Amino acid sequence: MRDVAIISFAQTRHRREISDINEVEMLMPLMGEALAEAGIAKERVDFVCSASSDYLAGQPFSFVMSLDAFGPWPPISESHVDMDGAWALYEAWVKMQMGKTDIALVYAYGKSSPGNIRRVMSRQLDPYSLGPLWLDPVSMAAMQARLGLEAGAFTEKQMADVVAASRRHGAANPFAQLGGEFDAGALLAEPEFVSPLRKHDCPPVTDGAAVLILAAGDVARELSERPAWIRGIDHRIEAAALGVRDLTRSVSTEQAGARAGVADGPVDFAELHAPFAHQELILRSALGLADDVTVNPSGGALCANPIMTAGLIRFGEAATRIGRGDGDRAVAHATSGPCLQQNLVCVLEGE
Amino acid sequence: MGKERVAVVGVGQTHHQAIIDGSIAGVVRTAAQRALDDAAMTWSDIDAVVIGKAPDFFEGVMMPELFLADALGAVGKPMFRVHTAGSVGGSTAIVASDLIASGLHERVLTVAFEKQSESEAMWALSVSMPFQPPMHAGAGGYFAPHIRSYMRRSGAPDHIGVLVALKDRLNALKNPYAHLHQADATFESINETMMLWDPIRLGETCPSSDGACAMVLTNEAGGDAAAAAGRPPAWVKGTALRSEPTMFAGRDQVNPQGGRDCAADVFGQAGITDPLHEIDVVEMYVPFSWFEPMWLENLGFAPSGDGWKFVEDGVTQMTGELPVNCSGGVLSSNPIGASGMLRFAEAAMQVRGQAGEHQIDGARTALGHAYGGGSQFFAMWVVGADKP
């Protein structure tokens, strides 16, 4: 594989609602920041790939206008995915494997605030059988948590510990929406929201965007003092029907993690896209992370969950921490679909 | 191109129609199964699935790749979803091609679809957003001024669009998968149809179709094996993407820079310096008849201002020097998300010699072209019978 690294990352200060500016205005300053951090003009970018969902924007072809944030003139080589931005990163990485693309810019954005996100996300389901029931992602995650608790895969105390750690980390992250010191016991005293989940076990509703720049080989070394090298990356999907999956595991994460080579060396920390507290525990187990591995030093999706973007942010957060020497080898992960249906796993290393 | 050569070894499509009486999963699986059958492969032979479609609103399913994972045999495999406006079918094929060219995978299934009967695409395209240019009613309302501008610049006479529509409708009679089969179409019958968006008549527009297209792509070893088994592959000789901004006064929507750059890129990769003489057949994205002469110029087949003369002289007829849209094109079948992939797949069918009644004898090199948005997203590939 050709060596490709993350050399630059920028994100919004994520909020419950960013209603005073549109998506282009949200992205433009981030493009500037990310390019400035890499020390390049946009003309050096060989490929651009973005991620978003029309269902959040409430408009077909919503990504068409958002591309204006980059200023694609003269015309550029560019693509777009209707998946989390981590998959846009994957498409760019594939393009770079072919040799001619040295620098790629990846961006993702999503505003959940304009609609009712639980109802919107229910449109992801099979439109013939589950969609008409308006089954929402919180309810499905609650069923998953219930199965996990009953199977003994994890405990409510462990879930509360995940939340307490996330919020503590979130407090130290200026971009996170939520953060603070919470006692696990006090969290467990909170009422249930969608049983067995409490509100803090669920992701906040977030508006946000992120921009990330990839560079290959010596170009990355030229532009970054400590690039975060992609050493392995893979993604896998599972069946849509919840009833045919073992929801207490994440088989596709196990598959992708094995192919990405997570177990080939020690993991210093992991940024896992776990929108629900119990999903962090499922993912930790699926990736075989040791108990002492810090997960989500950024606070994770429990502290800011801009849909279509939260996975890409995991890559940016992990790369930023490698860049400043917090660790040498990290796992970045993204998920899509109800109850961790589709998962992408990447191993990032400093040099 | 990348480290590995890429070969198209299987092509499949649905019988495109106004309403396919089946599920979305059934539509995509039908096309995919036909592509696998054509490739003499089974589902377990496939390493990864790449799917594309136009806006999710068209069927009312957000990120439908998630619920289609089972139907496309993707469970346990990588599944990737592309969306780049009308060019998406082409872009999707290019992402699939990249997965082979980069050496990551050996056999990739790529699928694109639209089931327009699930909604009303024209109104889905007409959502008025604050501070954005209104699309009026449907895509035709957006493109009609561009066509009018082309006619003014080039001095093209009014009947050129009708000639294109007539050619494509008659070509479609040779394609059993085409949506429209209008055996009684004549110049007069098309010319007399209702004026929808002046100068675009009803008879010069694409239909709303349900349908899907699929291809199986392999690396060089897979292409060689198919050839040895008597199933000639189409070799991918070049792929290119270009995008332009929406809000930029410097754009020329009649002859977009993005289209010119994309063509130059893909022809450069394929080693083509004289496209008119080196390309044997073209499948071009023509949703409104007038885009054929416009794209002939944009792609460099005709000098600027002369595209309409090619049409009038019959150059783009199946019997002409540069046959365009022998399948009947988008004007005869438009499952939007699949329309770009159909162009790519029909190009591959021509160089594989499998286009049946609409086959151009001896076609060795073909161009597949797709565009989207407000003439601002472009995807193209050149395929050939000979290994690059």
pLDDT tens digits, one per residue of A232-275: 999 999 999 999 999 999 999 999 999 999 999 999 999 999 99
Instruction: Flag the least confident range among A58-67, B98-107, B158-167, B246-255.
Output: A58-67
- Name residue, tokens 């498409």: A91
When CB atoms are compared, the residue of B131, B241, B245 closest to A71 is B245
Which chain A residues have a beta carbon less than 8 Å from that of B257? Answer: 74-75
Query: Quick check: B128 pLDDT over 70?
Result: no
- CB proximity under 8 Å: B 318-377 to A: 373-374, 376-377
Which chain A residues have a beta carbon less than 8 Å from that of B81? Answer: 81-83, 87
When CB atoms are compared, the residue of A65, A87, A127 closest to B246 is A65
Task: Tell whether A167 and A209 lie within a shared domain.
Answer: no
Instruction: Check B84 against A75: CB less than 8 A apart.
Output: no
Instruction: Check A67 against B245: CB less than 8 A apart.
Output: yes
- CA A304 from centre of chain: 10
Query: Quick check: B134 pLDDT over 70?
Result: no
Query: Quick check: B131 pLDDT over 70?
Result: no
Task: Tell whether A37 and A134 lie within a shared domain.
Answer: no
For chain A, what is the domain count?
Answer: 2
Q: Are A50 and A88 in contact (CB under 8 A)?
A: yes
The CA distance from B63 to A337, in Å, is 9
Give domain status of residue A172, yes or no: yes
CATH number of domain containing A329: 3.40.47.10
pLDDT (0 to 100) of residue B136: 61
Nearest chain B residue to A62 by CA: give it.
B55
Q: What percent of chain B has pLDDT over 90?
A: 90
pLDDT (0 to 100) of residue B135: 57
Give, rounded to a whole angstrom, the gap between the first and last alpha carbons of chain B: 10
Task: Tell whether A240 and A278 lie within a shared domain.
Answer: yes
What integer best gives the mean pLDDT of chain B? 95
Task: Tell whether A90 and A235 lie within a shared domain.
Answer: no
- Burial status of residue A302 (CB atoms within 10 A of its CB: 0-12, 13-18, 19 or more): buried
Give domain status of residue A323, yes or no: yes
Retrieve residue A286's tokens: 């699926």
- Which helix H or strand E contains B243, and what residues bound it? strand B234-243
Q: Per-residue pLDDT tens for B159-179?
A: 999 999 999 999 999 999 999
pLDDT (0 to 100) of residue A145: 98
Domains of chain B with CATH codes: 7-120+207-384 (3.40.47.10)
Q: How confident is the model at residue B111 (pLDDT cuts 50, 70, 90)?
A: very high
Instruction: Check A65 against B247: CB less than 8 A apart.
Output: yes
pLDDT (0 to 100) of residue B1: 58
The CA distance from B246 to A71, in Å, is 9
Q: Per-residue pLDDT tens for B196-215?
A: 999 999 999 999 999 999 99
Which chain A residues have a beta carbon less than 8 Å from that of B104? Answer: 94, 97
The CA distance from A25 to A63, in Å, is 13
Which chain A residues have a beta carbon less than 8 Å from that of B98? Answer: 91, 94-95, 98
Give domain status of residue A156, yes or no: yes
How far CA A30 is from CA of A40, A42, A45, A284, in Å, comes to: 14, 13, 15, 31
Q: To 5 degrees, how large is the angle CA A85–CA A230–CA A15?
A: 35
The CA distance from A37 to A226, in Å, is 12
Which domain does A239 fall in, by range? 126-201+230-349
Task: Tell whether A234 and A136 lie within a shared domain.
Answer: yes
pLDDT (0 to 100) of residue B266: 98
Instruction: Flag the least confident range among A64-68, B27-31, B48-52, B160-164.
Output: A64-68
Exposed e or buried b per residue across B265-294, where buried means at least 16 C-beta atoms within 10 angstroms of its C-beta: bbbebbebeebbebbbbbbbbbbbbbbbbb
pLDDT (0 to 100) of residue B123: 72
Which chain A residues have a beta carbon less than 8 Å from that of B114? Answer: none
pLDDT (0 to 100) of residue B132: 62
- CB proximity under 8 Å: B 50-69 to A: 54-63, 65-69
Give domain status of residue A342, yes or no: yes
Instruction: Check A123 against B60: CB less than 8 A apart.
Output: yes
- Report the residue of B67, B97, B371 to disrupt the A interface, i.e. the one with the largest count of A CBs within 10 Å: B67
**Mean pLDDT along residues A213-242:** 97
Give the residue among B110, B73, B49 at the shortest CA–CA distance from B342: B110
pLDDT (0 to 100) of residue A61: 85
Of A228, A263, A282, the residue at which a domain comes to its end is A228
Instruction: Check A94 against B95: CB less than 8 A apart.
Output: yes
Compute the count of residue pairs across chains A and B with CB atoms less than 8 Å apart.
184
**Mean pLDDT along residues A124-138:** 94
- Report the residue of B21, B50, B75 to disrupt the A interface, i.e. the one with the largest count of A CBs within 10 Å: B75
pLDDT (0 to 100) of residue A138: 97
Please state the pTM of the whole predicted model: 0.97
Give domain status of residue A121, yes or no: no
Task: Tell whether A101 and A153 lie within a shared domain.
Answer: no
Find residue A111's DSSP bridge partners: A207
Instruction: Check B83 against A63: CB less than 8 A apart.
Output: yes
Give domain status of residue A52, yes or no: yes
Task: Tell whether A194 and A312 lie within a shared domain.
Answer: yes
| B250: contact with A, CB 8 A cutoff | yes
Task: Tell whether A46 and A59 lie within a shared domain.
Answer: yes
Amino acid identity for residue B333 in this structure: S
Task: Tell whether A16 and A60 lie within a shared domain.
Answer: yes
Give domain status of residue A9, yes or no: yes
Task: Tell whether A250 and A303 lie within a shared domain.
Answer: yes
Task: Tell whether A220 and A329 lie within a shared domain.
Answer: no
**Mean pLDDT along residues A153-176:** 98
Give domain status of residue A57, yes or no: yes
| B240: contact with A, CB 8 A cutoff | yes
Q: What percent of chain A has pLDDT over 70?
A: 100
The CA distance from B62 to B56, in Å, is 5
Nearest chain B residue to A73 by CA: give it.
B244
Q: How confident is the model at residue A60 (pLDDT cuts 50, 70, 90)?
A: confident
When CB atoms are compared, the residue of A72, A234, A238 closest to B245 is A72
- Show the 3-state SS of chain A: CCCEEEEEEEECCCECCCCCCCHHHHHHHHHHHHHHHHCCCHHHCCEEEEECCHHHHCCCCHHHHHHHHCCCCCCECEEEECCCHHHHHHHHHHHHHCCCCCEEEEEEEEECCCCCHHHHHHHHCCCCCCHHHCCCHHHHHHHHHHHHHHHCCCCHHHHHHHHHHHHHHHHCCCCCCCCCCCCHHHHHCCCEEECCEEHHHCCCCEEEEEEEEEEEHHHHHHHCCCCEEEEEEEEEECCCCHHHCCCCCCHHHHHHHHHHCHHHCCCCEEECCCCCHHHHHHHHHHCCCCCCCEECCCCCCCCCCECCCHHHHHHHHHHHHHHCCCCCEEEEEEEECCCCCEEEEEEEECC
Which chain B residues have a beta carbon less than 8 Å from that of A66? Answer: none
Retrieve residue A261's tokens: 């080579």
Which chain B residues have a beta carbon less than 8 Å from that of A48? Answer: 243
Instruction: Check B69 against A76: CB less than 8 A apart.
Output: no
Task: Tell whether A69 and A131 lie within a shared domain.
Answer: no
Query: Quick check: A38 pLDDT over 60?
Result: yes
Which chain B residues have a beta carbon less than 8 Å from that of A339? Answer: none
B59 φ/ψ sector (left φ>0, alpha ψ -120 to 50, else beta):
alpha
